A and B are shown apart, each in its own frame.
Chain A
């Protein structure tokens, strides 16, 4: 801490760790080598967004980066170093005042690391691999998961020697062991972004996870329900709930002409009633349920068109962990649409830049979140910021903010009939849709960058003892 201790933490030097990097490089390593070296000084100068690099989809870009920017500009942070897994990136570069440190793994280790973290993710999301329950932490793959976390901890330690950090901020389950490996007396905060439900965690994992959680000074989860589950799990250390967040200033309505042009380019005609689903191509996202519901609803609502926005995540991308589930899931969804005879009423847009995504938020009649399980569901907040009515799975974290019929509609993802009935009712009642959208816009304030930066600033102050 660079200034005197007061009520608030100020000018902290923080070391952030996320598995997913902020920036993904699209440029080939060969081409990158021919360019002037990208380093801490030059940053991304000379590279073109969308051609040479792009921002990772998801929470890292929408949440962590804006938060860091806000805390830097408000003086809570003096400096930020950010360590991620980014095999195709230069080792270090600076972007918008944040120094990005990129770690690499050789392809074999990357593959087995990815298998381990995918097994943990699947289990926590209710897709347990019972063969792995007891064996996961003893598998050969796990040694590479440990390896990745150890090189992360080692890099953090080396940087700490150079920069004397005030705080370590570790994000999500992939990096949970880092706290224990770090061996520092400095404060460590861990943010768990995925669902935390005690019944989903195998008994055999509980002691290990418990030990990992105990190595942090503070654990942050996304909902009150997860916080209660964490306590019930036996975590006796400090823990807080901070809702995930977005910067509302980033969600402006594009002009109608731009909306029309963008939609037309992606086969959405002016007469279509748009049902929008935004999420990466992943079985957990439940897009198949949306397609089946569409097939039922088209009888009564023939103008309905389902727009599926999203592609692979960092894990699914060739530049990331190279897991192939996004391509196979999209092929499956196309098959389901063909089989139900609704292929012409389903649009797959792939990944869209934020501006184009805003066009679809503006254009849609309803935003649907059909996930089987969802850590939070920030897309619902995005829909609210566009004054749109939302239908949300009960198994999303954001469901705890929804008052049925007031700011949204909830459904049980195991009851497809319920989804069809509720959607039909909403499609028939424009007044209800408007009311839900208006009320949702108010609710979205709880998930704003303002609210989160205030909460995170207080939390930092608490853990550093300011």
Chain B
């Protein structure tokens, strides 16, 4: 009994961490549901952020419970954060820019672009820079942050028509079934799309965590680009959600019963490079 009393704070801390884990998952799910209309990658980022905040709060409570002064810890974390921000300011700018250019910049690997005095074909977009090959076979590496502040011209033919939506499917998802379903959903938008170019789903990479894919569609009218981008992203997100949530079991009495939202989608971060 004494032993139990002696370790009661630690037990409380463990309990808090367990509750934190549950709340983090719940927060991730709630944020994901709330951001269904957003680009899949933005929604995935927000879900992760929600979970991290919950873990931070839960962690601090747990630390206080075992008697450690969390004020000093908070101070150390804050100072470390500031130091990292100062030391890596430029790299972080590029990382951040990469995040936003992934989502909002109108170019992708394979496109011909012009930015500042550089022009060429994009052969790589990495975490910190975009690599071009110029007309005279030179490699030019442009920091991603430049794309946030400079005028970019995409000189690829029909570049304005192309919408790409990169996203990740959880490893358990049946890709052929998913593609078939997605094509059906996108087919309903065909009046708004250039019908000579049906949607193309390209597989980029595959790992134990999931399958990286890029959906490409071609729009008909430039003025509908924004609206179509949002609609396509929404349809991709809905299809991902449908395939990544546990399927409802066939129940005799209630075949329409909604699936329990037990698991958050495995890995649906995506980008809409629009």
The chain A residues found within 8 Å of chain B, CB to CB, are 134-135, 137-140, 142-144, 146-147, 150-151, 154, 180-181, 183, 203-208, 211
**Which residues on the A side are within 8 Å of B179 (C-beta)?**
143, 146-147, 150
**B195 at interface by CB-CB < 8 Å:** yes
Could you tell me the distance in whole angstroms from the C-beta of B47 to the nearest C-beta in chain A? 27
Could you tell me if A204 and B176 are in contact, using CB atoms closer than 8 angstroms?
Answer: no
A154 to B180, CA, bound (A): 14
Chain B interface size, as a band, is: 10 to 19
Residue of A nearest to B204 (CB): A183
A135 to B190, CA, bound (A): 9
Query: A140-B184, A180-B202, A183-B203 given as contacts; is B195 within 8 A of A150 (CB)?
Result: no
Residue of A nearest to B158 (CB): A207
Could you tell me if B202 and A147 are in contact, using CB atoms closer than 8 angstroms?
Answer: no
Query: A137-B198, A206-B196 given as contacts; is B187 within 8 A of A151 (CB)?
Result: no
Could you tell me if A138 and B175 are in contact, using CB atoms closer than 8 angstroms?
Answer: no
Q: CB within 8 Å of A: which of B140-177?
A: 175-177
Contact of A183 among B183, B187, B198, B202 (CB under 8 A): B202
Could you tell me the distance in whole angstroms from the C-beta of A365 to the nearest C-beta in chain B? 50
A450 to B175, CA, bound (A): 41
Could you tell me if B202 and A138 are in contact, using CB atoms closer than 8 angstroms?
Answer: no
Q: What are 14 A-to-B residue pairs whose CB atoms are below 8 Å?
A: A138-B198, A140-B187, A142-B183, A142-B198, A146-B179, A147-B177, A150-B175, A150-B176, A154-B176, A181-B203, A183-B202, A183-B203, A206-B196, A208-B197
A205 to B196, CA, bound (A): 6
Residue of A nearest to B176 (CB): A150
Contact of A143 among B184, B190, B196, B203 (CB under 8 A): B184
A139 to B195, CA, bound (A): 11
**B200 at interface by CB-CB < 8 Å:** yes
**Which residues on the B side are within 8 Å of A146 (C-beta)?**
179-180, 183
**Which residues on the A side are within 8 Å of B204 (C-beta)?**
183
Residue of A nearest to B186 (CB): A138
Could you tell me the distance in whole angstroms from the C-beta of B178 to the nearest C-beta in chain A? 9
**Which residues on the A side are within 8 Å of B203 (C-beta)?**
181, 183
Contact of A204 among B175, B195, B200, B202 (CB under 8 A): B195
Could you tell me if B196 and A147 are in contact, using CB atoms closer than 8 angstroms?
Answer: no
A180 to B180, CA, bound (A): 16
A154 to B196, CA, bound (A): 26
Q: CB within 8 Å of A: which of B185-232?
A: 187, 190, 195-198, 200, 202-204
**Which residues on the A side are within 8 Å of B176 (C-beta)?**
147, 150-151, 154
Could you tell me if A204 and B196 are in contact, using CB atoms closer than 8 angstroms?
Answer: yes
A180 to B198, CA, bound (A): 13
A144 to B187, CA, bound (A): 13
**Which residues on the B side are within 8 Å of A150 (C-beta)?**
175-176, 179-180
Contact of A138 among B177, B180, B187, B200 (CB under 8 A): B187
Could you tell me the distance in whole angstroms from the C-beta of A222 to the nearest C-beta in chain B? 27
A140 to B200, CA, bound (A): 15
Could you tell me the distance in whole angstroms from the C-beta of A213 to the nearest C-beta in chain B? 14
Residue of A nearest to B185 (CB): A143
A433 to B181, CA, bound (A): 58
A183 to B180, CA, bound (A): 18
